[in-house]
Every structure is written in C-alpha cells, then in structure tokens.
C-alpha cells in the first residue's frame, strides 16, 4: 500500500488555460503529468504508474503471441536512414543531431537522428544475425521513448514531440507466414486494448510513409480525434478516411454516350468550380471535371475528379511516387499551356503531354458522363466533354474523399463518419525494407530469399490519454481497473483517530492481499477536499472510514462508476473488501 503523504499527487482545482480537451485538462488537474514545453511532458508518480501498467499489459499480450523483447538505441546514425527507403519522406519529421563544426566548411547533414520508429535499425540487425529459414519467423519488439518533430503539438500526449511507444517488427519466410504474424499482432492488439478498458475499432488504413501492402489502425471513437473513421454498422465495414471507399459508382454502371460535339466557350475571370457553377454559366459542380496538377518525384502528373469532390491526398500514395506535392503555377503553365482555373485533360489540348508522369482519373468521373472542363486556354472552357471519347487517361483509381451517406461498398447501406483517436497501427510491409538492406535467408535448398516483414506500433502514452478521454465524467477520471494508478482508495476522514487509522490499515491490507494496488489518503484535509480529489483522480473503489461511522460500526464502500454508497459492517470489513476486489479483477 502507499500513503498519500508518502507520494506526490499535485491535484489542481482549475484547469490550466492552455489545456484544450477534457483528457488534457484531467491529466493536469489529477496530477498525472506536468508540461515542460509544447509536446514535452513529465510523468508524475501517478501518471508514471499508469504508464507502467499499460506497458506491462502490452508486454503480456506481445509475449503471448510470440513477441521477443529487445531494446534498441534511440539515437541513430543517419546512414541507416539515408540507406533506407523513406529518408526523403521522413526527414522533415525527424530531429537531427548536428555534429560539431556543421556550417564551418563541413557537411551540414547530421551525423545522427532521433528515431521515430526503428525499421532502419532492426532490419540491418536481423540481416546480420539471421541467415537461415530455420530461425524464422521472428518478431522483435521494444517499449521506449520516441521522437517526432511535431510542427504543432497539441492535446497533451495526443500529439507530442516525445512519446512512449511499443514498436514491433516481424520477419517471415514468405507472404503466407507474414500474414499469420500480422493476424497474431491484430489479435494481440485487440486483447491489449480490451484489457486497458478501451473501446476500439480496427479500420483499414493508408500505409503512408511506412509503405507496405496493407495496414489497419486501432481507433478510439472520440469527438476530439485527429482522424475520421468511415463505417457501416450493418456490414461491419470500417476504414480510415484516407483509405475509405464507397459504392458511389455502381458495379454495373455504363458510361453515357456523347451528347454532342466539343464546344469551346469563353469564361473570362472564371477560375473556380464555384464560379462556373454560378450564373450566368450555371454548370453544376457535379457536371464539371476538376483537373489538379501535382509533382511526383520531380515530374508533373494530373488527377481528374468531379467538380463536387475533394481529393484525398493520401490516396496518391498508391501511384508509387516517393514524394508528391501540389505543383506551382510556374510549373503548371509550361506543361498545360494555361494557368490554374482553365485546365483540362481533353485529348490534344495539353501543351506538353510528354512531360507528364501520367493522368490519373477517379472512378466517380464516370458519373459526370458528359460535362465541362478547362480548355487549357486562359479564360476558356469546353462543354460536351465525354469521359470515354474525349479524356486522355493513363490510369483509373480511387482518389476522392468519401462523404457520409454514400453507399457502403459491401452492403449499399449509408456510410457514417465519426472522429477517432489512433492508438495503434499494424502494417504488412512486404519486402520494402529487406530488399533495401539485403535482409535475406537461405531455404532448405540453399536458395536465397528476401525476408517478408511487418511492423506494429502502439502509442503507449497516447493510450493513457485515450483512456482518460473515453473514461471520465463531470467530476474527474473514471479509471478502468487494470490501468488505474491504484485500484482502491482508502479515505481516512479522521487520521488522528487511532481506531480509524487501524481500520484503514486493515482494509488496505485486505484489498492488497486480494490483488489490488492501494492508496491510503491519510492527509490532514477536510472531508470535502478528500472526496473531491477522490473523484478527480478516479480510482475504481473508494473505502471511507470516519469516527462517526466507527461509532455505528460501519465504513462506506463506493464504486467510482456508481452513485450508490454501501454501508458495510466493520465486522465484515476484510471479507467484503477482498470479495469486491476479486470480483472487479475477474471482470476487468
């Protein structure tokens, strides 16, 4: 047991002015963390206990599915990254350690970087240690501090510059075995978040900078989440907005035939979809073709959408470019022959089509059929543009942002969208990293093959705050049993009373013997202060002992999730408390 007077729980009556969301306010008010600077936090004693408990639950589930714990350095030689497949994409989010003399005639490239994840470290390590199929599969994991150069840290631990993460890396002999490892990790994640008391949804997700074949995110529904989850309860479909698709274009849809010849018409000063939709032109947005120009690995490419749709930029990752960005007006005009606002992809109208890396069209433009687009002449558009007859298209794909109400791709029922917090992410990487680093093994025929990899991350510190965000009320935190800093709070209303103190000790020992972590509030504070703090820090079970109750031969027992207060005879104290603890632990 721990006495309140022997630890440090600096609770606050008011929320700090820079705390933005409920969980951030409660982390500070309940004395779990203290802010050093934007995105940098000290874990106070109670917060550290929660972090340690979450870490241990994670270890148990990783070990259960065959994970092997190691500890890798968090300062990395930059060569490990420059030799890898994602330095160009990841370097802007990484902290760099510049060597002495940088900028004084020596190279300005850093010698070391702080690691956000460890693919670039674990792959060369495994390459040097594992050479035979007999040593596969393997799944190595670690729990430790990571670093990300977050431009706009916010929401406390949600978007931090320094954070605690569990990262794991699986190595298998082939795709089939790698899929087994992937499913084991999904199973471990599901069990872990359940034990943390979190309600999560596993959704299809974009692979992003990590790369790979496919991935899933574990999301906690919350109004303050940074991500949108697109889902359908009837079919069970769920995906991150960056990955989500819909059944907007029916599978049996046939492209409309042309309605007339192409016709140019003057549109002076009209450079937006909205302007063309307004009088006097009155061309609805869903009857316009939107042409976007991007640069992919230094070469321009075009994306065609309906005028009423938005580009989901993350989906451009499917095109195979390492880096992409919107093209500037100066880059657009020499290729297209016009400034932005008058662009299109009608055959024969692009000034320099050979300069393009491709023209990529979203499937939904089939619904336009015959519409309007730019003529690649400033202040001129074309009408009667037919998708099949007129547009120069290199490749079709899904590039648009899905909207609520569109048909679910599985059932046709309306899709819903909800905000959520990402707390875990699993990737099937394939051979992206093993190929780059030469991580191979020999089979039983002495033939060499690339190892097939997966990687798996859990935001340990983010999970802590996600629990608080999901489990709180007007009075404070409502901790789930398994992750509470202490599970039982014994409140001594009369610490100067020897009998009260002795009963508190017996109750604490009974709870501890039954398997609970116990905190005894022995402070010389008013009952009102103690009860306020008890609700604020939110321990699951509160036992209250006072001189008045002792005269009646009772003490009070109250669960944080209930308003009911039970009066328990002192004669039954230890047995009642022990039974309550065992029941709570068995249900957690």
Please check whether residues 381 and 352 belong to one and the same domain: yes
Query: What is the count of structural domains for the chain?
Result: 3
Please check whether residues 199 and 281 belong to one and the same domain: no
pLDDT tens column, 261-278: 999 999 999 999 999 999
Quote the percentage of the chain above a pLDDT of 90: 86
Please check whether residues 174 and 277 belong to one and the same domain: no
Query: What is the reported pLDDT for 106?
Result: 47
Q: In the listed set 427, 442, 468, which residue is the last one of a domain according to the structure?
A: 468
Please check whether residues 343 and 464 belong to one and the same domain: no
C-alpha to C-alpha distance for 512 and 2, rounded to whole angstroms: 11
Query: What is the reported pLDDT for 465?
Result: 97
Query: What is the reported pLDDT for 105?
Result: 46
Query: Confidence class of residue 97 from pLDDT cuts 50, 70 and 90?
Result: confident
Indicate if the pLDDT at residue 104 is higher than 50: no
Q: Record the tokens describing residue 246, joined without a space.
A: 């819909």
CB 355 within 8 A of CB 299: yes
Please check whether residues 392 and 428 belong to one and the same domain: no
Indicate if the pLDDT at residue 478 is higher than 90: yes
C-alpha to C-alpha distance for 310 and 290, rounded to whole angstroms: 9
When mean pLDDT is compared across 230-234, 299-303, 381-385, the lowest value belongs to 230-234
Please check whether residues 81 and 204 belong to one and the same domain: yes
Please check whether residues 428 and 368 belong to one and the same domain: no
pTM, two decimals, is 0.86
The chain-wide mean pLDDT, for the chain, equals 93
pLDDT tens column, 510-547: 999 999 999 999 999 999 999 999 999 999 999 999 99
- Is residue 549 in some structural domain? yes
Indicate if the pLDDT at residue 161 is higher than 50: yes
Please check whether residues 432 and 516 belong to one and the same domain: no
Query: What is the reported pLDDT for 243?
Result: 87
Query: Confidence class of residue 215 from pLDDT cuts 50, 70 and 90?
Result: confident
How far lies 371's CA from each of 40, 363, 401, in Å?
52, 15, 21
CB 119 within 8 A of CB 78: no
CATH number at residue 309: 3.90.960.10
Query: Tokens 């014994």, residue?
Result: 490
C-alpha to C-alpha distance for 554 and 543, rounded to whole angstroms: 11
- Is residue 24 in some structural domain? no
Please check whether residues 188 and 315 belong to one and the same domain: no
CATH number at residue 582: 3.40.50.800
Residue 73 per-residue DSSP state: -
- Taking alpha carbons only, the member of 211, 410, 395, 407 closest to residue 314 is 211
Please check whether residues 442 and 508 belong to one and the same domain: no
Please check whether residues 152 and 217 belong to one and the same domain: yes
- Is residue 324 in some structural domain? yes
C-alpha to C-alpha distance for 177 and 172, rounded to whole angstroms: 6
Please check whether residues 194 and 317 belong to one and the same domain: no
- Is residue 527 in some structural domain? yes
- Is residue 254 in some structural domain? no
- Is residue 191 in some structural domain? yes
The residue segments making up the domain with residue 168 are 48-223+417-468
């Amino acid at each position: 047991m721990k006495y309140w007077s022997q630890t440090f729980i600096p609770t606050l009556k008011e929320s700090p002015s820079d705390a933005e969301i409920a969980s951030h306010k409660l982390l500070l008010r309940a004395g779990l963390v203290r802010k050093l600077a934007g995105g940098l936090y000290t874990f106070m004693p109670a917060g550290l206990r929660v972090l340690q408990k979450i870490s241990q639950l994670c270890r148990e589930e990783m070990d259960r599915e065959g994970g092997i714990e190691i500890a890798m350095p968090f300062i990395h030689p930059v060569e490990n990254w420059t030799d890898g497949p994602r330095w160009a994409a990841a370097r802007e989010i990484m902290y760099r350690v510049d060597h002495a003399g940088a900028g004084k005639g020596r190279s300005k490239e850093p010698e070391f970087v702080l690691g956000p994840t460890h693919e670039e470290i674990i792959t060369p390590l495994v390459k040097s240690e594992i050479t035979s199929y007999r040593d596969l599969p393997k799944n190595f994991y670690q729990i430790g501090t990571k670093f990300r150069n977050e431009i706009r840290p916010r929401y406390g631990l949600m978007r931090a510059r320094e954070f605690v993460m569990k990262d794991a890396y699986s190595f298998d002999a082939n795709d089939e075995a790698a899929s087994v490892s992937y499913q084991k990790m999904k199973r471990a994640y599901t069990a872990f978040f359940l034990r943390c008391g979190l309600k999560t949804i596993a959704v299809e997700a974009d692979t992003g900078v990590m790369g790979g074949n496919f991935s899933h995110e574990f999301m906690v529904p919350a109004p303050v989440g940074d991500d949108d989850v697109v889902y359908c309860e009837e079919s069970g479909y769920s995906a991150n907005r960056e990955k989500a698709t819909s059944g907007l274009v029916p599978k049996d849809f046939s492209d409309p035939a042309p309605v007339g010849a192409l016709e140019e018409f003057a549109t002076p000063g009209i450079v937006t979809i909205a302007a063309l939709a307004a009088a006097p032109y009155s061309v609805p947005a869903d009857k316009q073709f939107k042409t976007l120009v991007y640069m992919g690995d230094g070469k321009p490419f075009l994306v065609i959408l309906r005028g009423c749709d938005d580009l989901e930029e993350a989906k451009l990752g499917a095109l195979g470019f390492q880096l992409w960005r919107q093209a500037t007006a100066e880059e657009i005009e020499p290729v297209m022959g016009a400034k932005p606002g008058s662009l299109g992809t009608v055959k024969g109208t692009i000034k320099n089509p050979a300069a393009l890396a491709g023209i990529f069209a979203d499937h939904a433009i089939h619904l336009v059929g015959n519409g309007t687009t730019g003529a690649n002449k400033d202040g001129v558009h074309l009408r009667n543009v037919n998708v099949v007859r007129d547009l120069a298209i290199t490749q079709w794909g899904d590039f648009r942002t899905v909207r609520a109400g569109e048909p679910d791709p599985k059932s046709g029922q309306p899709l819903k969208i909800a905000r959520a917090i990402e707390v875990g992410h699993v990737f099937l990487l394939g051979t992206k990293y093993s190929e780059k680093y030469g991580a191979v093994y020999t089979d039983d025929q002495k033939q060499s093959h690339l190892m097939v990899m997966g990687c798996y991350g859990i935001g340990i510190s983010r999970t802590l705050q996600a629990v608080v965000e999901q489990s709180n009320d007007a009075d404070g935190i409502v901790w789930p049993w398994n992750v509470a800093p202490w599970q039982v709070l014994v409140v001594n209303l009369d610490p100067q009373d020897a009998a009260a103190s002795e009963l508190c000790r017996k109750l604490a020992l009974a709870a501890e013997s039954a398997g609970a972590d116990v905190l005894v509030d022995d402070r010389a504070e008013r009952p009102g202060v103690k009860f306020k703090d008890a609700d604020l820090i939110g321990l699951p079970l509160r036992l209250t002992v006072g001189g008045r109750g002792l005269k009646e031969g009772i003490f009070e027992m109250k669960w944080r999730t209930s308003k009911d207060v039970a009066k328990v005879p002192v004669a039954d104290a230890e047995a009642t408390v022990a039974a309550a603890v065992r029941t709570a632990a068995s249900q957690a």
